Structure 1
Amino acid sequence: MRTRVKVCCIASAEEAAMAVAAGADALGLVAAMPSGPGPIPDGSIAAIAAGVPPPVATFLLTSETTASAISAHIRATGPTAVQIVSHIDPAEAARLAVLEPRIRRVQVIHVEGNEAVDLIPAYAPHVHAFLLDSGRPNATIRELGGTGRVHDWAVSAAFVRASPLPVFLAGGLTPDNAADAIRRVRPYGLDLCSGIRTGGGLDPLKLRAFMRAVRSGDSEME
């Protein structure tokens, strides 16, 4: 199976076009966050999302935690998918599925230990996919992504094996470790931000190197 690639922290229409041209399957558009790189105004998210050609998906990264607020955020920005970066109440995830049945819903799970796997049953009935990241949602200043840190891929691999849904892997991915991530975790997709940026901007050379590494990893799995 071909590993999908989601390029996150897209900051402009130019970066979106660069990622699409390189073969990205999805683009991440980061809204206001308590910490981390890449947030842009909702108006910019809406403008970029409107210009992305199908079948490339546009993911709104929202830190909202209630179904009504997440739904309002979706309707204000017009993405094709929403990435819920907090461990929200599963009851809110169920309510969001009713409010936004046409939007693909992706629940982030922050891997801090083996207990991450225990969250699968709570969310799986209400979302379309999971995304494993390296945040610290209970820190004094919450980290909800964009950390640039690799978490324990043994836990991630166990999560993938246990999940009935597709699983994206994020956290500290670069052209140097992408193929190894595919071999060890077997995710549906890889998601990255800082690993293909230089001076804050999307780096075309690093982006192409990452895409080559992903295809190399896929070839080894055939």
Structure 2
Amino acid sequence: MRTRIKICCLRSAEEARQAIAAGADAIGFVALTPPTARTIPDQEIAGIIAAVPPSIETFVLSAAPTAEVLAARARRTGATTIQILSYLDPAESARLAALAPGLRRVQVIHVEGPEALDLIPVYAPHVHAFLLDSGKPNAPRPSYGGTGLPHDWAVSARFVQVSPLPVHLAGGLAPDNVGQAIRRVRPFGVDLCSGVRTGDHLDPARLAAFVDAVRRTDVALGGVR
């Protein structure tokens, strides 16, 4: 089973086309309130997603604290998957599953230490997958990812070993380290934003190098995941 590739923080239909043509299995769009430099409006996300082939999974990223807001954002954008950046109250996580049973739900876990493992039983009953990232949601100025910084892959590897759900790995991945990350962590998929960008733009050369590094690593591992 090959490692899935998700390219995130896309800003335009052209970037989406580039990511898909390069071999991405999934693409992601940032929808945060208040907005950041990577946020694009829901209506623009919807327009881009409308032209995406059905075989490509589409993620919308939100840190909204309630199930109603998360479900509504997914409906407005037409995304197949909601990537939940904040730590929802478990009751809200369960409510989202009830409100939008057809929506794939991916809970982000910000790996700040071994305590990340304690969140597996909290969210596993309500989501389809986890995504490990390097944000600091409880900092004075919360960060929900896109930092370009790796976290402790030893913790991530243990998380993958004990999780009953698929686990995506994010946080500081780039063409020159993704092979090592896959060998160390053995994730279901890899996800990155800044690692394939130069300035504000998706970099085709870095994107191609990243996809090539993932595929070469899969071949070296014999496709065993």
TM-score, scaled relative to structure 1: 0.97
| Structure 1 residue identity aligned to 2:167 | V
Taking the TM superposition and a 5 Å limit, the aligned residue runs for 1:34-53 are 37-53=37-53
| Structure 1 residue identity aligned to 2:70 | I
Q: Secondary structure at the match of 2:50?
A: helix
Q: In structure 2, what is the Cα distance between the partners aligned to 1:35 and 1:116? A: 27
Q: Are residues 1:104 and 2:104 paired?
A: yes
Corresponding residue of 1:17: 17
Distance 1:33 1:7, change over 3 A: farther
Q: In structure 1, what is the Cα distance between the partners aligned to 2:64 and 2:34? A: 11
Corresponding residue of 1:64: 64
Q: Secondary structure at the match of 2:125?
A: helix
Q: CA RMSD in A?
A: 1.1
Identical amino acids, percent of aligned pairs:
63
Q: Secondary structure at the match of 2:116?
A: helix
Q: Is the 8 A contact 1:9 1:37 kept in 2?
A: no
Unaligned runs of 5+ in 2: none
Q: In structure 1, what is the Cα distance between the partners aligned to 2:76 and 2:185? A: 35
Unaligned runs of 5+ in 1: none
After alignment, is 151-160 or 47-56 more displaced?
47-56
Corresponding residue of 1:168: 168
What is the CA distance between 1:33 and its match in structure 2? 5.0
What is the CA distance between 1:65 and its match in structure 2? 1.2
Deviations 1:6-48 (A, max 9, x none): 0000100000000010110000110125686521111111111
Q: In structure 2, what is the Cα distance between the partners aligned to 1:144 and 1:35? A: 13
TM-score, scaled relative to structure 2: 0.96
Taking the TM superposition and a 5 Å limit, the aligned residue runs for 1:93-172 are 93-172=93-172
Distance 1:130 1:120, change over 3 A: same
